[in-house]
């Protein structure tokens, strides 16, 4: 009974990295031609759950907009906007702060990772972040959320919130949103530690490929990527218990729009000293058009701001009546 609608978001922090591109941006652009309404957000309210230098936040917001556009997002086909410009998100988030249970949030692994040992000093916003994310999604009654594996738990919480709201008020108001986690790049791992995901907030710049990196930097990071001493295995099974090797094969497959079995069939038996330069060449060829287009777009920040303002207006138009109706259901 719900109209199909896609929503996803990325935080404007640091620089976009390869995992964001393969796990999110590249797939977002692919979904906008399906005839389904697509909304893509720069989630700046999420970014400030940890300290952001104000000038950096402004720069990262425009850079992320440029990253979306350079990855193929068409602002006529999709609604591209900045979260803080659409008040409906925080209006709904407060309601969800009152729907979600402390116990649910206590189980969120991302909070534990990001807060680290010093939980007492984490912002309250970092703890309630998943409620705001549920609002981001449900304020549009979005039915599908393309994300990487790391966001699966948060989408499950969104489903729990929707179900509890519907139950508490005896309605079928919110859809039970589906996470869309597919492809070989749902979890791109760090180049320095095959057990950690690649992230733009990792303190080591060598752990990731940034979309703003030049060709030499990309090649160097791949050359220095941590690997074991064995050559690539001859079969897919041989990648088990070799997280670094598996990660590089997956990255190659995702960049080539292929699959790991095909890559192993082609490169199995080769030492990393042969495979890494080929991966570097593929990465540079795939990413440099995006980097160049991002740089071109960022020369005209006023145009980026105009696209975002237009997106915010269209997003608020969808969200405002949904907030109104939700508040009425609550009795407000
Ligand atoms: P980051 O963790 O780099 O700060 P975000 O939390 O802003 O990125 O996530 C933005 C999107 O990119 C989400 O859909 C997330 O699942 C996806 N993503 C982030 N890192 C990875 C990764 N290493 N592999 C696959 N997808 C990722
Ligand atoms: Na994240």
280-314: pLDDT as tens digits: 999 999 999 999 999 999 999 999 999 999 999 99
205-295 in CATH: which number? 1.10.240.10
Neighbours of 328 (CB within 10 A): 9
Q: Where in the chain is the domain with CATH 3.40.50.620?
A: 5-181+300-330
154-177: average pLDDT: 98
Residue 58 region by backbone torsions, left for phi larger than 0, else alpha for psi between -120 and 50, else beta = alpha
What is the ipTM metric for this complex?
0.95
Please give the DSSP secondary-structure letter assigned to residue 259: -
Q: Which atom of ligand 1 is nearest the CA belonging to 208?
A: 23
Using the structure block, give the residue that is written with the tokens 């005896």: 170
Q: In this structure, which ligand is nearest to the CA of 196?
A: 1
Can you state the angle between helices 243-255 and 272-298, rounded to 10 degrees? Answer: 50
Neighbours of 26 (CB within 10 A): 19
108-146: pLDDT as tens digits: 999 999 999 989 999 999 999 999 999 999 999 999 999
Q: Cα separation of 330 and 91, whole Å?
A: 13
CA of 186 to the centre of ligand 2 (A): 12
Is 132 close to ligand 1, i.e. is its CB under 6 Å away? no
309-318: pLDDT as tens digits: 999 999 999 9
Is 12 close to ligand 1, i.e. is its CB under 6 Å away? no
Query: What homologous superfamily does CATH list for 5-181+300-330?
Result: HUPs (3.40.50.620)
State which H helix or E strand residue 60 sits in.
Answer: helix 54-70
108, 114, 118, 122 alpha-carbon torsion, rounded to 10° = -80
Q: Cα separation of 134 and 43, whole Å?
A: 12
Determine if residue 188 is labeled as part of a ligand binding site: yes
Residue 193 is encoded by which pair of tokens?
């530690």
Q: Catalytic pick from 114, 152, 220, 226?
A: 114
Determine if residue 148 is labeled as part of a ligand binding site: yes
69-85: pLDDT as tens digits: 999 999 999 999 999 99
Q: Catalytic pick from 141, 200, 246, 276?
A: 200
pTM of the model: 0.95
Of 41, 148, 182, 192, the residue with max ligand 1 atoms within 8 A of its CB, to mutate for a pocket test, comes to 148
Q: Where in the chain is the domain with CATH 1.10.240.10?
A: 205-295
- Catalytic site includes residue 152: no
Average pLDDT, the chain: 96
Of 24, 197, 253, the residue with max ligand 1 atoms within 8 A of its CB, to mutate for a pocket test, comes to 24
Closest Cα to atom 16 of ligand 1 = 148
292, with CB counted inside 10 A (0-12, 13-18, 19+), is exposed
């Amino acid at each position: 009974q719900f109209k199909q609608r896609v929503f996803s978001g990325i935080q404007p922090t640091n620089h976009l990295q390869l995992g964001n591109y393969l796990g999110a941006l590249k797939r977002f652009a692919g979904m906008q031609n399906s005839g389904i309404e697509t909304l893509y957000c720069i989630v700046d309210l999420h970014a400030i759950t940890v300290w952001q230098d104000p000038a950096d936040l402004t720069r990262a917001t425009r850079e992320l907009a440029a990253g979306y556009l350079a990855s193929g997002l068409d602002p006529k086909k999709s609604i591209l906007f900045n979260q803080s410009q659409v008040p409906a998100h925080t209006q709904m988030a407060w309601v969800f702060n009152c729907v979600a249970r402390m116990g649910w949030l206590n189980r969120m692994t991302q909070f534990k990772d990001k807060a680290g040992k010093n939980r007492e000093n984490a912002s309250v916003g970092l703890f309630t972040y998943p409620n705001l994310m549920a609002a981001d999604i449900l304020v549009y009654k979005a039915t599908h959320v393309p994300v990487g594996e790391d966001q699966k738990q948060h989408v499950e919480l969104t489903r729990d919130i929707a179900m509890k709201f519907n139950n508490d008020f005896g309605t079928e108001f919110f859809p039970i949103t589906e996470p869309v986690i597919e492809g070989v790049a749902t979890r791109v791992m760090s180049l320095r530690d095959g057990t950690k995901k690649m992230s733009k907030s990792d303190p080591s710049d060598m752990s990731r490929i940034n979309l703003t990196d030049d060709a030499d930097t990309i090649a160097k990071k791949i050359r220095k990527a941590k690997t074991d001493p064995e050559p690539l295995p001859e079969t897919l099974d041989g990648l088990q218990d070799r997280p670094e090797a598996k990660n590089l094969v997956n990255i190659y497959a995702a960049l080539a729009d292929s699959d790991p079995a095909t890559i192993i069939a082609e490169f199995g038996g080769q030492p990393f000293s042969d495979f890494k330069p080929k991966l570097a060449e593929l990465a540079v060829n795939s990413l440099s058009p995006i980097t160049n287009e991002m740089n071109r777009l960022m020369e005209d920040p006023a145009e980026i701001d105009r696209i975002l303002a237009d997106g915010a207006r269209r997003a608020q138009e969808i969200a405002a009546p949904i907030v109104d109706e939700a508040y009425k259901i609550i009795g407000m």
